[in-house]
Each structure stands twice: as C-alpha cells, then as structure tokens.
C-alpha cells in the first residue's frame, strides 16, 4: 500500500471514531428525527453545486456525506470558476476519507475565485487520489445512463450543467429525477412576504426553464422553506464544537467565508450559522416528512422569477414547514453523528 493511500485510510478511520464520539449537549430524544429508522436501500445521487460562493453548499456537501440514505456517485461543480470549486470539493472529500467519489468539472464562466479561496490555497486538484473528470457534463450523462437504477440529481446552484446534459443526451430525463434549491414562490429571503428572483434561478433563467420543463419529476425547496433555516445557540454550538475533522473543516470554511464576504459580517460566528438553504435540498432527496409539499404549475420568467401558473408544468414544491425545529435538530444530529 502506498504511503498516501495508507494515510487516507487512517484519516478516515480517525474521522469515524471522532464522529462517533461527537454528541451534542442536546438531549438524545431531541436530535433523533421522526424518520430515523434503519436505511433499507441507499439512493444513488449526483450533486451539482456552485460550492465556494455561499457557504451553504459546503454545509450541504458535508450533510450529504453524513447521510446514510444517500449513495453519492459524483460531485460536479457548476457556474463561474468551476476548477476552484472542484478544489474545495476534492479537499473536503479527502478529509472525509471519501476519495472513492469522482469529481466533475462543470461548464466554466469567467469569474475570479471567491470567498473560500484561502482554504484551498496551495491545494492542487492533480493531487486528488480519486477520479477527476474534465468534462463534468459528460460525467453526469455517463453516470445516469450507466446506472442500473434511477439517479437523483441534487442541484444546489444555477443549472447550466444540467441544461447541457439534457441537450447532449435527452434520455437522462427518463432515468433520473431532479431535486433542487430554486425559486421564490410566496416568500422571499429571510421569510419576507414579497417573492423575489432567487439567485440560482436568476443567474441563468433559461437553463432553469429547460430543466424544469424536462420530462422528469422535479422537486424544489424555494426560499419559502429553505430561506429561513439557521442553527443558533445550543444547536449551532454543538456543530461548532464537534471534533470530527470534517466538521472542523466545515467551521473553518465558514470562518474564512465570513471574513471574505462583505454581507456575511452580520453573523456571529461563535453563536449562529448563516442561512443553510441547500441543506433542505439534500433532505428532500430522501424525505419530505417535515415539509408541506404542493404540486404547482411553475413558470420561470426572463428575470428569474418563479411564478405560479396553472398552464405550466406542475412540480413538487416545499412551501411550508411542518416542524422547522425538528429539522434543525435532525441537521445537528446528522452532522455531529
């Protein structure tokens, strides 16, 4: 065994032991959700992410890695500097001991590396022990078409990669379903009563329109539900103080992101998280239990708004929480073990 391979296996074993020991101060019955039963069959998923801009993508990837319901087959980076984003994914997967998961580099657009760049300074993607696909779109197509069972696409950023994959191979819509963090239906950011053009849609409305219209099942968490998810007080501190190396990497990224994001300075990093939009999409990949779901016709406008339109294709929308506090408890338990 090569020394590097041994070190990766050793790091994974240590991470597992620390995770097992990493229980919060919350009462045990408070952190076990209603759906915490044994996992009968894991759901194969692809994560499409613009990680490296808002920190919630990093929380979502860590949550996905710690979700036994999900079998992560591929992570593809989307929008802007997709190589920079892939470096963040690669380093996190190394820390998690999950270099068996391949990474795809998605369609790039001119954009400087963003707020988490200091965390991967000096880290070369070529050092990643696993597989890195230069053509992330083709990796999506091949993973879906080569899977013996349907794939769940979890998309937590703009979706030009998915649009391109559909154009390259329309049959992927017959073999996958789409779960995304997209839109604003009846509420805007921070629970505002005024719907807005949500970023993941507004960045590329045409791509979102194509993806929503494809002949697959579409499920989304709009700002109505994902835009009010935060961990505060004891719940946040349980994650902040967890000694699992992957969780420590998450908190380190959070602190770096906050230093480099002007609007993030409103958060007290010792007491609270930022808004964790994308964690709700990860949850929807395997459960809807804590959410109110509606089937609504959704039309995407040229300026990125998602309007209810009875003549548009009907998609499943998480429009209300049944129990937001229970989801927060679930998230803490899922992250800390």
Query: What's the confidence (pLDDT) of residue 23?
Result: 42
Query: What's the confidence (pLDDT) of residue 3?
Result: 36
List 74's β-bridge partners, or say none: 46
Burial 28-52 (b: 16+ CB within 10 A, else e): eebbebeeeeeeeeebbbbbbbbbb
Q: What is the pTM of this model?
A: 0.90
Query: What's the confidence (pLDDT) of residue 75?
Result: 99
Query: What's the confidence (pLDDT) of residue 22?
Result: 55
Query: What's the confidence (pLDDT) of residue 38?
Result: 53
Query: What's the confidence (pLDDT) of residue 39?
Result: 59
Which H or E run includes 255?
helix 245-260
SS3 letters across 33-96 = CCCCCCCCCCEEEEEEECCCCCCHHHHHHHHHHCCCCEEEEEEEECCCCHHHHHHHHHHHHHHH
Query: What's the confidence (pLDDT) of residue 114?
Result: 85
Mean pLDDT value across the chain: 90
Q: What is the DSSP letter of 313?
A: P
Cβ(195)–Cβ(305) under 8 Å?
yes
- Please name which of 20, 30, 19, 33 lies closest in space to residue 283, comparing C-alpha atoms: 33
Query: What's the confidence (pLDDT) of residue 110?
Result: 84
Query: What's the confidence (pLDDT) of residue 14?
Result: 43
Cα 282–Cα 285–Cα 289 angle in degrees, nearest 5: 95
Domains of the chain: 3-23+41-336 (3.90.245.10)
Ranges under pLDDT 50 in the chain: 1-21, 23-37
């Amino acid at each position: 065994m090569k020394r590097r391979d041994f070190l990766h296996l050793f790091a994974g074993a240590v991470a597992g032991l620390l995770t097992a020991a990493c229980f919060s101060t919350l009462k045990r019955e408070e952190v076990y959700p209603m759906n915490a039963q044994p996992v009968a069959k894991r759901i194969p998923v692809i994560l499409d992410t613009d990680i490296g801009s808002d920190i919630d993508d990093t929380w979502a990837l860590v949550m996905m890695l710690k979700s036994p319901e999900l079998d992560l087959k591929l992570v593809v980076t989307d929008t802007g500097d997709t190589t920079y984003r892939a470096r963040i994914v690669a380093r996190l997967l190394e820390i998690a001991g999950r270099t068996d998961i391949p990474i795809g580099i998605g369609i790039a657009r001119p954009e400087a590396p963003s707020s988490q760049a200091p965390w991967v300074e000096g880290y070369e993607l070529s050092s990643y022990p696993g597989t890195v696909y230069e053509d992330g779109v083709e990796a999506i197509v091949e993973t879906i078409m080569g899977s013996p069972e349907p794939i769940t696409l979890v998309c937590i950023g703009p979706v030009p990669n998915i649009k391109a994959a559909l154009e390259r191979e329309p049959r992927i819509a017959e073999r996958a379903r789409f779960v995304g963090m997209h839109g604003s239906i009846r509420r805007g950011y921070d629970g505002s009563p005024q719907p807005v053009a949500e970023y993941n849609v507004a960045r590329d409305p045409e791509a979102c329109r194509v993806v929503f219209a494809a002949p697959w099942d579409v499920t989304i968490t709009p700002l109505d539900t994902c835009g009010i998810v935060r961990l505060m007080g004891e719940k946040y501190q349980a994650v902040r103080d967890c000694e699992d190396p992957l969780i420590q990497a998450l908190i380190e990224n959070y602190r770096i992101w906050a230093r480099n994001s002007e609007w993030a300075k409103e958060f007290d990093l010792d007491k609270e998280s930022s808004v964790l939009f994308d964690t709700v999409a990860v949850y929807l990949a395997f459960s809807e239990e804590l959410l109110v779901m509606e089937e609504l016709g959704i039309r995407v406008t040229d300026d990125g708004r998602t309007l209810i339109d009875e003549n548009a294709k009907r998609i499943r929308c998480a429009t209300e929480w049944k129990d937001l506090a229970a989801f927060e408890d679930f998230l803490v338990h899922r992250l800390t073990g």
